[in-house]
Every structure is written in structure tokens, then in C-alpha cells.
Amino acid sequence: MPTTYLEAIREGLWEEMERDPNVFLIGEDIGVYGGAFKVTAGFLEKFGEKRVVDTPISESAIVGASIGAALMGLRAVAEMQFSDFISCAFDQIVNFAAKCRYRWNAPVPIVIRAPSGGGIHGGPFHSQNPEMWFVRTPGLKVVAPATAYDAKGLIKSAVRANDPVLFFEHKGLYRRIREDLPAGEYTVPLGKAKVARQGRDLSIITYGAMVWTAIEAAETLAREGIEVEVLDLRTLSPLDRDAVCGTARKTAKVLLLHEDTQTGGLAGELAATLTERVWEHLDGPIVRVTAPDTPIPFSPPLEEAFLPSAQKVVEKARWLHKY
């Protein structure tokens, strides 16, 4: 029976809680209700109230309490009901958690799970991709899995990490993708990208749900004889710059793709890295396909226009390939 992306996260959390009695969950509606998306369904029954803490609607307290517990030797996995609400906990994340180790040698092993992304008609406050607020904060690790395999392996590594990890799980993938997972225990290391599709003509560097958009575009382009390589970053911070430069050296043409808005998006940092490190290997300009710099709108035609699509990627890739 193939495992969904959502079930993969649940399995990973379940295994880590069975393995380490210091791991606990904290968040809104995660216990009795099992979480807004049911990621933690069944955890309260299995692990009890001590290890599955339902909280008031207090994102800052959820993260703050996670930090305090982590400083005292526990490992907190906090859930933001939607990643859009993470801004309520911003100071705790970027000023408290991120800086403890650097300032006073105090590790903060917490994971903040944040269901993110659009395509579900969630509107401006249930669809955002806030990862870059955290990617640009030294001291935080940021993860955004695209597959069920990686979601499970990365959540397990995130729980075991001795640094604060932001775990952006794309809610559009929760039940949309599934795959057979290995029976035994495995983890996926933080900080390592993966080639999701091999190709020789052009590289698409992306992450999260856009990996699937990139693969869809690559299949269309393959029918035209253009072989696209898709690099799935998996971890956004620390960034696997070697893998980024590796695929660019191989294909000499790079398209950067993300669902996040454009200005200050990861593509800018990737483009700068490529320019600094592999400029002489490139045979064309670095191009971006991203959401525009607007809030994410609600109405389906507007949301569709906002989100990067395989068609938009194909058009841009064709142009770059001809360049």
C-alpha cells in the first residue's frame, strides 16, 4: 500500500516518538482532533497528554515553550496550524531560537512544522510560502520536502538535529502524492539536494511542490527533444551549493523555480551563487519562474494566474534552450 506524503510525515514522527522518550508534540488542535490536517491523528491515544500537548491559540507561546523545553533537554515538535500563522511566532523563532547557540552555546533542538503552499483556494492567509523569512536568518535550518520518501526521512533527521529546524510541508502534496516506502528505518540528511530527474540540456532548480511542476514540464519538453535535469533542493538552509553548481556545470543552462513570490525569493540567492561560482560554465542567462510579488489571491482564476505552472515553465525553458 503506497504511503502518502502526509502519512510519511506521520510515520516519521511516530517512529521518532517511539525511539526517543524526550520527543514531544505541541500545537493547536493536534491532540484530540489530530491536527487540522490529521497529521498527528492517533498520537494522543498512543503517547498521552504529556507528550501531545494541545495549546491555546498562542503561536508565540507554542514556539517559546518549545524553546524552553528544548533548553532543558527535550525535543519539541511544534505545529503551526498553517504556515501563515508562523509570523505570530516570528520573534521567538528568529531572535530566541536562532541565536541561542551562537550567543551562549545553548542548543535549541526544536522542529516547527508548517503546512504551507497554495493551490487549495485557501486565500491570502492559508496559502503562503514564508520560508524565506527563515532562510535568511542564520541559526535556523529550513526544510521543504517534495516526496513522501523525503518527507519521512527529513522529518526524522529534523527531530534528531540539535538546531532549530523549520519544516515546510506542502499541503497541496499531503494526499496528492504517494509512493512505496522502504520497510525499515531510514533518514534523509539535512542539507543535501537530490537530482529528481536526470537531463543534459537544461537544469531546473526547485523545491517543494514545484518539483512536481518541474517534472511535468520536463516530460513535455522531453517530447520536444529537450532533456531537463530537475534538482530538488530538499533543504533550503543550509543550501547545498555544491549540488546547485554541479547541475549548472552539467547542463550550462539554469531555470530557477519556486512557488514563493519573486523579490527576495530563493531564486535570487541561487542566481547570485551561480554567478559567483560557475559563471564561466553557463551558456545563457539564469532565468526565474516564480509567483509574482502579490499576496496570494483566493478566487480560482486569480490563484491559478498567481501560481507557477508547468506551462509557464515550459515556455521559459524553451526560450532558454534556444538562447
Partner 1 sequence: MSAAELTIGISDTASSSPGEEAELAGRLWHYMALMREAEDRIERKLYRQGKIVGGVYVGRGQEAIPVGTALHATAEDVLFPSHRDLAVFFIRGVPPGRVFAQYMGREGGLTRGRDGNMHMGDLKLNIVSIISAMAASVPVAAGAALALRYRQSNGIVFCYFGDGATSRGDWHEGLNFAAVQKLPVVFICNNNLYAYSTPLSKQMAVENVADRGAAYAMPAEIVDGNDVLAVHQAAGRAAAFARSGNGPYLLECKTFRMTGHSAHDAAEYVPKNLWEQWGKLDPIARLQSHMLERGWSSEAELDEARARVRREVDEAVAWAEASPFPDPATLLDDVYES
Strand order in the sheet with 202-206: 194-197, 228-232, 202-206, 254-261, 287-291
Q: Is 187 in the site for partner 1 (CB under 8 A)?
A: no
Minimum distance between the CB of residue 233 and partner 1, rounded to whole angstroms? 17
HSE, side-chain direction, 13 A CA sphere, residue 216: 13
Q: Is 178 in the site for partner 1 (CB under 8 A)?
A: no
Candidates 30-38, 89-97, 202-210, 288-296 — which segment interacts with partner 1 by CB under 8 A?
A: 89-97
Q: What are residue 176's phi and psi, to 5 degrees?
A: -85, -35
Q: Is 254 in the site for partner 1 (CB under 8 A)?
A: no
State which of residues 74, 177, 243, 314 lies at the interface with partner 1 (CB under 8 A): 74
Q: Is 101 in the site for partner 1 (CB under 8 A)?
A: yes
**Is 281 assigned a catalytic role?**
no
Minimum distance between the CB of residue 249 and partner 1, rounded to whole angstroms? 26
DSSP 207: -
Nearer to partner 1, 103 or 223 (CB): 103
- List of residues 6+ apart from 78 with CB closer than 8 A: 25, 26, 27, 62, 63, 66, 110, 111, 112, 113
Residue among 121, 126, 258, 321 flagged as catalytic: 126
The residue count for the chain: 323
Size of the site for partner 1 (CB under 8 A): 41
- How far is Cα 238 from Cα 201, in angstroms, rounded to an integer? 27
| 210-222 and 310-322 helices, crossing angle to 10° | 50
Q: Is 103 in the site for partner 1 (CB under 8 A)?
A: yes
Q: Is 252 in the site for partner 1 (CB under 8 A)?
A: no
Q: Is 172 in the site for partner 1 (CB under 8 A)?
A: no
Nearer to partner 1, 162 or 311 (CB): 162
Of residues 92, 75, 91, 85, the one with CA closest to residue 116 = 85
Task: Tell me, residue by residue from 123 to 152, as one string, x for binding to partner 1 by CB under 8 A and - for no binding.
Answer: ---------------xx-x-----------
State which of residues 4, 123, 176, 238 lies at the interface with partner 1 (CB under 8 A): 238
Q: What nine digits make up the cell of 161?
A: 538535529
Q: Is 249 in the site for partner 1 (CB under 8 A)?
A: no
Interface with partner 1 in residues 10-69 (CB under 8 A): 24, 50, 53, 55-56, 58, 60-61, 63-69
State which of residues 40, 92, 128, 261 lies at the interface with partner 1 (CB under 8 A): 92
State which of residues 32, 106, 272, 302 lies at the interface with partner 1 (CB under 8 A): 106
CA dist 225 → 18, 202, 220, 228, 312 (Å): 49, 11, 9, 9, 18
Nearer to partner 1, 68 or 297 (CB): 68
Q: Is it true that the peptide bond before 301 is cis, omega within 30 degrees of 0?
A: no
Q: Is 73 in the site for partner 1 (CB under 8 A)?
A: yes
Helix (H) or strand (E) holding 76: strand 75-79
Helix (H) or strand (E) holding 259: strand 254-261
Binding site for partner 1 (CB under 8 A): 24, 50, 53, 55-56, 58, 60-61, 63-74, 76, 91-92, 95-96, 99-107, 138-139, 141, 161-163, 238
User: Which active-site residues does the annotation give?
Assistant: 126
